[in-house]
Amino acid sequence: MTTVETPEEESSVAVKQPKSTKAKILDVVRWIAILLVVAFAAKTLVTNWGEFWRTLSEVAWESSTLSLLALVAAIMVSTYGWQVMVDDLGKPIGYARGAQICLVGSLGKYVPGSVWAYLLQMELGRKAGLARARIFTGSLIQLGVGVVSALVVSLLAAPAVFSNSPRALWLFVLIPVGLAMLHPRVLTWGTSLVLRILRRPPLDHRLSWSVIGKVFGSSTAAWALQGVHLWLLANSVGTPGFSGFVLCVGAMAVAMTVGTFAFILPSGVGVREVAQVAVLTASGLTVVQATAFAIASRVMFTVADLITAGAAALSARLVSARV
């Protein structure tokens, strides 16, 4: 079992000491950062709320409720993959604590420049006694594996995407390279190379097929659940059944992948909607309907992010109190 944590950082978990002035200042900064990212997320809700509510008023409440639940499930499944990866890099942290770090930290994606999500995750991990390098490494590997998974799932929506966005072809050219990178030996070497460039210690063991498989599987399941979310919304106005579902799964994978690389924008705003609209129109919806559902989807993502982050923070606090 590898670890990227330093002895000083690991020992800080075992021995409780009075907080220094620096530690107190860092606590205040963390809380300010969390409040800021929540404020940005709330701004996204307020900005799109009118269009969101008009769209949802035309959808059966059963469909909209199940759609939101599918998103919550997708986030929880994806978080499991992140936790498995972080657990492989040191002493297991468990799902409750891992979810708190991952989900609360991921709200940073609503701040322009998605790098803030990773910085906040590292700070929350450090607060929990984990090395920043361990959190960064786990997030880095999960991101890479998740992107490969998304590229593979994106093939389901390839015809619709190509017909509306020919420049998206470059995404699919990366699939063979991405699959090759998932080999444990290659992924371990690539991760260690990135860590060396960043002047961090490389991995001291080779990643296993089991861990990579779990991360890949959780990412794939998350894309499928996100597709269920979009399909439940679109199907309420007549999107073709199973074929529409397949397109929606592929559309979400494309949309989230493109949104990930549009790191300058808050949570890929505007970029992933283009992919969603392209696929929804190909499945029979008008441009107006497709755009409305894309906006509704973004708002529901924000709501699901806030729900899961809040639940994770509360759960971790309750677990900590019992311990």
- Considering only 27-36, 161-170, 194-203, 206-215, which range has the smallest mean pLDDT? 27-36
| Tokens found for residue 186 | 């290659």
| Tokens found for residue 3 | 């670890």
pLDDT confidence tier of residue 86, bands split at 50, 70 and 90: very high
Higher pLDDT, 308 or 296: 308
pLDDT tens, residue by residue, 7-35 = 344 444 444 455 566 555 555 555 555 56
Looking at the predicted structure, is the pLDDT value of residue 212 above 70?
A: yes
What residue spans of 57-107 are helical by DSSP H? 61-87, 94-99, 105-106
- Considering only 49-53, 227-231, 266-270, 284-288, which range has the smallest mean pLDDT? 266-270
Quick one: angle between helices 21-56 and 115-127, nearest 10?
A: 130
Question: Is the torsion defined by CA of 194, 198, 202, 208 positive or negative?
Answer: negative
Residue type, 296: A
Higher pLDDT, 58 or 312: 312
| Tokens found for residue 193 | 């190379």
Identify the DSSP state of 2: -
Q: In the predicted model, what is the mean pLDDT of residues 86-114?
A: 84
pLDDT tens, residue by residue, 106-141 = 887 777 666 777 888 888 888 888 888 899 899 989
Q: What pLDDT does residue 27 have?
A: 53
